[in-house]
Chains A and B, each alone.
Chain A
Amino acid sequence: METNNTHTTSLRVNGNDYQLNILPWVSLLDALRENLDLTGTKKGCDHGQCGACTVLVDGKRVLSCLTLAVMKDGSEITTIEGIAKNEALHPLQKAFIEHDAFQCGYCTPGQICSGIGMLKEGKAHTREEVKELMSGNLCRCGAHKGIIDALMEVKEGGNYE
């Protein structure tokens, strides 16, 4: 396809401004991984079925595999690389370590971004509701119990900004 089909797209990712000249069919997931070298965000299914690619766009958790990068021109994006504050892990990251909330770790970046989105939404009050509102993140290693334990601890601690 001719290069005049590229679109100048400004993204603020983890506090850094980027300008990309990008073709319309490039997913936000591929733009993050291939163009910006931010490979923390994982490609599981590439079809909206696993949650591994979850990032926060303007504060909301979404699936980067089903998002076209050109459509997010001007947006603020947080990926797993932007969750820790310098060397200090986010409370949810610490809780994941404490509760053994992963095995291979492939789903973890998506789980953590989704978990932070879920906590900010404030719609889950019980363990049952946390499970329901985290059902978009699958873990093939079956670490769900630890994941929900970690989320419950941080939710009850109330410290997840």
Chain B
Amino acid sequence: MNNFTYAKTTDATQAIDQLNGSTQNKIVAGGTNINDLLKYFITTADKLVDINPFTDNHAITELENGGVRLGALVTNADTAYHPLIESRYPLLSRAILAGASAQIRNMATNGGNLNQRTRCYYFYDINTPCNKREPGSGCSAIGGYTRIHAILGQSENCIAVFPSDMCVALAALGATVNITGPGGYRVLAFADYHRLPGDTPHIDNNLQHGEIITGIDLPATGFKKNYSYLKLRDRASYSFALVSVATGLSLDGNIIKEACIALGGVAHKPWRVTAAEDFLKGKEAKRENFAAAADIILQGAQGYAYNDFKIPLAKKAIVRNCMMALNPETQRPGAQPSK
């Protein structure tokens, strides 16, 4: 790590003040991503601003509109196992528990999870060009080894994927992100939080320097009856997704009233396609319809040789996960594949 200074802060006003002055003044929460990046010199800091001593933002609370607010500083583990989340948003519990390891989930915070950076091998190797790490240097993944890379929404400047599991569920649920900063308080829809790489792959999301996430709000509908999270990866546990799918269904008998489907591991942000969800509305909840929706979601997908497999894999994963959502017990660890 480079040499940096350190400041503890107890509220957002103090933290905003400490972040001011240099874009190299950075927030540390659970530390599971930023400390790793600092150790590799992928990122550097003048000052780390510790927001853990905040008096607020450590709770999970019910909102008047029927939704639930996740404090930014609640750990991923405490969120996944919270009675309100387990009972009303089991999709979110599942997705969080599919990520990282128990120790990391005990450290990682909800605010930090949204801001974790890609696991692209070349981003991690400071001896290779990477537009995300060093704007304008080029993209080593294009023409390189691309097993973990994007098939949707990529640009000629970057084909990295955003690696979070939790955020795939938050995207499917239609959460909102609460942000406070020098310019005041604002709320972003989850779909507007993360960005596609375009010409600015070094910018992962729309948080401005100096801004702090204080919480994440979940809407009232949690799809607690029909939901499923499926994560496909190279190891059975403690490994990032090659493809993941979060599905929430609202059914009337066997007719779909509402379908929310988000993909992870395929793009620079959780991938959600309204046209596919509209297509499913009013249709029977069956394999053929989910397969047609999967085709809509994967429209325009492009592989880079080593990740071509992700296109058929994602289609099958969508169908399987939607079928599992009809019968959520089928997604227990060790459960048999759906027939």
Contact = CB atoms under 8 A, between A and B. Distances in A.
Taking chain A's interface residues, is the majority helix, strand, or loop, or is none over half, making it mixed? mixed
Contacts of B102: 61, 114, 117-118, 121, 133-136
A134 to B, nearest CB: 8
Contacts of A23: 3
A1 B238 CA distance: 37
A71 B31 CA distance: 10
Interface string B100-126: 111110110000000000000000000
A25 B107 contact: no
A63 B32 contact: yes
B36 A47 contact: yes
A118 B105 CA distance: 12
Interface string A66-79: 11101100000000
B318 interface: no
B155 to A, nearest CB: 29
A90 interface: no
A68 B36 contact: no
Nearest to B105: A136
A128 B6 contact: no
A54 B39 contact: no
B262 to A, nearest CB: 23
Contacts of B50: 70-71
A66 B101 CA distance: 13
Contacts of B1: 25
Of A63, A70, A134, most B-chain CB atoms within 10 Å: A63
Given A68-B28, A71-B52, A135-B238, A63 B333 contact: no
A27 B6 contact: no
Contact of A136 (B39, B81, B238): B238
B48 A66 contact: no
Interface residues of B, number: 30
Given A5-B5, A129-B333, A63 B107 contact: yes
A123 interface: yes
Interface in B19-59: 28, 31-32, 35-36, 38-40, 48, 50, 52
A136 B101 contact: yes
B3 A5 contact: yes
A54 B102 CA distance: 11
Given A67-B107, A129-B333, A136-B103, A24 B31 contact: no
Nearest to B30: A66
A66 B238 contact: no
B279 interface: no
B66 interface: no
Given A24-B48, A68-B31, A71-B28, A132 B237 contact: yes
24 contacts: A1-B3, A7-B6, A23-B3, A25-B2, A46-B39, A62-B103, A63-B104, A66-B31, A66-B35, A67-B31, A68-B31, A70-B6, A70-B50, A71-B28, A71-B50, A71-B52, A114-B103, A117-B102, A117-B103, A121-B102, A129-B333, A131-B237, A132-B333, A135-B236
Interface of A: 1, 5, 7, 23-25, 27, 46-48, 51, 54, 60-63, 66-68, 70-71, 114, 117-118, 121, 123, 128-129, 131-137
